[in-house]
């Protein structure tokens, strides 16, 4: 298996699809990210740290890759990559840098229709309607040139998207 970066807008269902795939395929390994927000704030399973602790970890060289998005810092622990290829939830902004440290990186881009994203983001309760509308209006932006990308629309059922996700992983590793 090659390293696979999963990207897409908030609410597209990246974490849901990755967790479902890992439950079906025990050979898949998902990287647990370090994020500068409280661990109990919901969403993915991550290590929550203070900005000061993050800066210390960064200075110690503990991240293979780190970036900033939406006012938070994100880091991928270097030791998560010691045992071979992984699935990782990445920001589009970090893809070019990721491609330099993860040779053969493949990208799975998860999307959903705007009204589906709005409904999912609203259900999270982290942002108000104006913030959600602004987030969706910003769009996703382009992906870096030269990376192999598989696109999956997760606007319908989770089961349909999980099948597409697993098929994409099988194709990447064929």
What is the spatial distance between Cα 23 and Cα 25, in angstroms, rounded to a whole number? 6
Partner residues linked to 149 by β-bridges: 107
pLDDT of residue 174: 63
pLDDT score for 167:
95
**CA pair distance 121, 132, nearest whole angstrom:** 7
CA distances from 150 to 12, 52, 111, 162 (A): 15, 36, 11, 14
- Of 140, 160, 156, 163, the closest CA to residue 10 belongs to 140
Collapsing DSSP to helix, strand or coil, 53 comes out as helix
Q: Residue 105 has which token pair?
A: 């990186």
Residue 143 CA to residue 172 CA, distance in Å, equals 18
pLDDT tens string 46-64: 999 999 999 999 999 999 9
Annotated binding site for ATP: 8-15
Taken in order of first residue, the domains within the chain and their CATH numbers are 3-173 (3.40.50.300)
| Count of other CB atoms within 10 angstroms of residue 143 | 16
**What are the structure tokens assigned to 128, written together?**
């108000």
**Residue 126 reports pLDDT greater than 80:** no
pLDDT at position 140 is 67
Higher pLDDT, 31 or 39: 31
> Which residues participate in the annotated binding site?
8-15
Indicate the pLDDT class of residue 106, thresholds 50, 70 and 90.
Answer: very high
Angle of helix 114-124 relative to helix 129-138, nearest 10 degrees, comes to 140
d(CA 26, CA 96): 28
* 3-state secondary structure (DSSP) of residue 48: strand
- Res. 69: pLDDT tops 90: no
């Amino acid at each position: 298996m090659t390293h696979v970066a999963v990207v897409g807008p908030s609410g597209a269902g990246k974490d849901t699809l990755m967790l479902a795939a890992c439950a079906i395929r025990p050979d898949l390994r998902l990287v647990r990210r370090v994020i500068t927000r409280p661990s109990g704030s919901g969403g993915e399973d991550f290590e929550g740290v203070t900005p000061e602790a993050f800066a210390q970890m960064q200075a110690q060289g503990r991240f293979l890759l780190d970036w900033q998005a939406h006012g938070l810092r994100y880091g991928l622990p270097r030791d998560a990559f010691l045992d071979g290829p992984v699935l990782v939830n990445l920001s589009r902004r970090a893809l070019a840098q990721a491609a330099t440290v993860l040779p053969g990186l493949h990208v799975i881009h998860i999307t959903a229709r705007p009204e589906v994203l709005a409904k999912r983001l609203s259900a999270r309760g982290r942002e108000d309607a104006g913030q959600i509308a602004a987030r969706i209006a910003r769009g996703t932006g382009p992906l870096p040139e030269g990376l192999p990308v598989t696109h999956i629309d997760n606007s319908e059922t989770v089961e349909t998207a999980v099948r597409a996700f697993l098929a994409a992983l099988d194709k990447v590793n064929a």
